[in-house]
Amino acid sequence: MRYKFICPLFEVKVILVTGDKKQLGRYTEEFGENEHDAECHTLYDKDDKIDAFLVWIKNPMDYNGMVHETMHLVRKIFDCMGVPFNSDNDEIMAYYQNYWVRTFWHKIKIKENLKEVKI
Q: What is the pLDDT of residues 6-62, one digit of tens each?
A: 999 999 999 999 998 888 888 777 666 667 899 999 999 999 999 999 999 999 989
Instruction: Identify the domain containing residue 66 by its residue range.
Output: 2-112
Q: Yes or no: say if 67 and 57 are a contact pair by the CB < 8 Å rule.
A: no
Task: Tell me, yes or no, whether 85 lies in a domain.
Answer: yes
Task: Tell me, yes or no, whether 72 lies in a domain.
Answer: yes
pLDDT of residue 114: 59
Q: Yes or no: say if 69 and 55 are a contact pair by the CB < 8 Å rule.
A: yes
Task: Tell me, yes or no, whether 117 lies in a domain.
Answer: no
Task: Tell me, yes or no, whether 86 lies in a domain.
Answer: yes
Task: Tell me, yes or no, whether 18 lies in a domain.
Answer: yes
Q: Yes or no: say if 4 and 13 are a contact pair by the CB < 8 Å rule.
A: yes
> How many independent structural domains does the chain possess?
1
Task: Tell me, yes or no, whether 118 lies in a domain.
Answer: no
Task: Tell me, yes or no, whether 42 lies in a domain.
Answer: yes
pLDDT of residue 116: 59
What is the average pLDDT score of the chain? 89
Higher pLDDT, 114 or 22: 22
Q: Yes or no: say if 97 and 74 are a contact pair by the CB < 8 Å rule.
A: yes
Task: Tell me, yes or no, whether 66 lies in a domain.
Answer: yes
